[in-house]
């Protein structure tokens, strides 16, 4: 199961990282900090007499150049629309994707911040306004290259990968196979209840780790998982607690969101369906990357008997949740 893609970072040593940054005309001061990123390799690089830069080295074989450049174009479009996010740095020829020693990379300004306080209603309103502005721009055009988040890409493909590559222990495979067939049918029913929804350009992985908060409010990082999907995908991960807590948070988010973008309330039928798809996709993502040495170090709990038993239990809990009525807006 080892592929050349899994081993592609083996020659990405500190000297190569510094040389790549300097190839774009930046004088490095020798300081290099590895940041927590597993899909790609990301570093904070010290620059002489200037703020550090963030260098992101893209995983070979995941996105082609056109797909990465489409992400960059969206980030620059958002920045031009004054949506606060970390956009890639252009060179003098207006390029944002570079190559060095066989690696593709991009450079970003370094910005600080803290996670949002999701228990603070004002933070929730600001976050809603922020996402409303993002989606108002996201719906103005479609992606040509980046994929759609749907039952096939996040659900069917994930289950198929785990089964085809024998990650599920043999004694758990019948239960997993039967359960996922039923759950994916329920996901489809959720989509049927939602009816026709717009598939817009999203952040796609909008959780507190990708929102940095400052005294001026939120700014966004990491559009690497940006794709087309329903707007609620960028909202539901900020909801937690029991049903009442989730409804309170949802309505506070929408107070801000609807100042800038219309929200189709039928998408609320999709929240638990999207949660189910994310759970499936997350485990398949770990499995696909398991030959990368960074993953067993970062996720030592994965791929054990206990891991798969718990995953099946967690998935089973989604069945009654998808059958419940959607959250209510005030």
205, 224, 234, 292: the active-site residue = 205
Residue 229 CA from chain centroid, whole number: 12
Q: Is residue 120 flagged as an active site residue?
A: no
Tokens for 295, please give them. Answer: 């993953």
The Cα–Cα gap between 183 and 129 comes to 33
Which position among 120, 182, 215, 222 bears the catalytic label?
Answer: 222
Q: Is 222 a catalytic residue?
A: yes
What is the largest distance, in Å, between two alpha-carbon atoms of the chain?
61
Residues involved in catalysis = 205, 222
């Amino acid at each position: 199961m080892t592929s050349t893609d899994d081993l592609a970072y083996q020659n990405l040593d500190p000297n190569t990282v510094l040389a790549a940054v300097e190839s774009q005309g930046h004088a490095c001061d020798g300081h290099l900090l590895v940041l927590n990123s597993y899909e790609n390799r990301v570093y904070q690089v010290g620059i002489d007499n200037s703020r550090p830069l963030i260098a992101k080295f893209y995983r070979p074989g995941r996105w082609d150049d056109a797909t990465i450049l489409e992400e960059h174009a969206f980030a620059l479009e958002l920045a031009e629309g004054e949506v606060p996010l970390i956009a890639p740095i252009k060179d003098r020829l207006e390029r944002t994707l570079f190559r060095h020693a066989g690696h593709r990379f991009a450079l970003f300004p370094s910005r600080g911040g803290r996670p949002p306080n999701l228990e603070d209603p004002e933070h929730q309103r600001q976050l809603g306004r922020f996402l409303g502005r993002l989606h108002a721009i996201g719906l103005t055009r479609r992606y040509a290259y980046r994929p759609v988040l749907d039952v096939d890409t996040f659900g069917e493909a994930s289950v198929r990968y785990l089964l085809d590559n024998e990650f599920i222990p043999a004694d758990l495979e019948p239960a997993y196979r039967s359960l996922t067939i039923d759950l994916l049918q329920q996901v489809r029913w959720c989509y049927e209840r939602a009816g026709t929804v717009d598939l817009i350009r999203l952040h796609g992985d909008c959780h507190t780790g990708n929102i940095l908060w400052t005294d001026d409010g939120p700014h966004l990082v990491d559009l690497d998982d940006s794709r087309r999907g329903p707007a609620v995908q960028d909202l539901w991960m900020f909801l937690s607690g029991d049903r009442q807590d989730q409804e309170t948070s949802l309505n506070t988010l929408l107070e801000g969101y609807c100042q800038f973008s219309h929200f189709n309330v039928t998408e609320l039928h999709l929240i638990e369906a999207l949660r189910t798809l994310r759970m499936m996709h997350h485990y398949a993502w770990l499995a696909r990357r398991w030959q990368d040495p960074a993953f067993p170090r970062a996720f030592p709990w994965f791929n054990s008997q206990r891991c798969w038993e718990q995953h099946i239990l967690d998935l089973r809990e989604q069945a009654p949740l998808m059958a419940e009525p959607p959250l209510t807006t005030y």
